[in-house]
Structure 1
Amino acid sequence: MKNTIFLFIAALFITASVNAQSTVDSIHAKYQMQPMPEALTIEKTFPVLGTYHLTTTNDSTQAVTISLDSANKGVIWVAGLPEGTFKAYLKKSPGTYRIISQKAEDGKQIPEGTLFFDPSTNTLNVALGKAYDEADPTAIFSNANTTTDDTDVAANNNEVKVKTKTPTSKTKTKTKLVFYTATKNEMNSTSTNAAKQ
């Protein structure tokens, strides 16, 4: 009796090991090995970073540089616009930023606005003088393109009247709505070239 029980247990283990081996083969038949994805670089995470060509009103180009803040990854610094150097805060990834009202390094007041980078066209759009719209931040740029009828967007200055109350006098101040459009310089970085080799 003991011999038959041991033989039965041994046969059970042998059948289980044979079935386990055939199951692994069927798994390999269903699934294929995928190639390893490319390394995630800072340029892929924040595509807005880089240098841009801004066409000014007198058909000269001006360099606009966008760099990442060293302390906070959600903040970028924009340098090269006529308003001076200012910072913008990431609202929606990968390229929608809010520009809060702030003073530039030279003391010039910069109004609130929106910065939008379109990765498909490598175009940077900046609107200063209108508050950031949480519901649809890019709506301001579609309105700007339809009103200018394909003219130079950087030269377009629409005046918007803003009422402000001060305790000393009741005056109206005007804030200009300014649009800038720039195209990104396409340069291969050394980090991506080194990874390919």
Structure 2
Amino acid sequence: MTCRVGLLWDTPLIFSRLIEDCGASCEAITPHMLATPFWRGRFVALIVPTGFANPTYSKLLPALRASSGRIERFVENGGRLLVFGAASTRQDAYDWLPIPVTYVHSYGPRAVRFTADSPYNSLISGYDLNAVECDGTFPSHGGETLAATPDGEALLISKEIGEGVILVTSVHEYPSREFLAEFSCADRETLF
């Protein structure tokens, strides 16, 4: 079993310490590394934190677009991709993903209801499901809704592509330790 995560961001994040505390090694991947065609890494999972499309917080979006083909191949070949909320009103914030995702930015606590049985529901294990901080919703997407508000607004979606999976969430909290320990580990790493 190998446990290895690439955390995509402009600078080191405290998030990496949580990942490592859950038993996985964590490598910071900057936008320059991500967009460089000759840079390669091997990971079980890649994580794109909240705010990736908001230029106030990050310059990651252009690099995600530049490497969209590599991201798709990574997932097809068995990689796992976790993408958080864009924290932006941009309509095209998720256009680098191989599935369509429409996002509406709106920060605040929301009641969460699981709509499908999935091991990925553990993303918010231990949180008060009546008031989970979220930064938006997904009114349309090309995946399966795993969690939504009582009104049916999607908050966690998944899509299996090839041998891997893409999870997109607007939950504005760190993933649970249980989720990170499971999501970050597999029998093999996938080349990015």
Instruction: State TM-score, norm by structure 1.
Output: 0.28
RCO higher in 1 or 2 (8 Å CA, sep ≥ 6)?
Answer: 2
Q: Which is greater in Rg?
A: 1
Instruction: State TM-score, norm by structure 2.
Output: 0.28
Name the structure where helix makes up a greater proportion of residues. Answer: 1
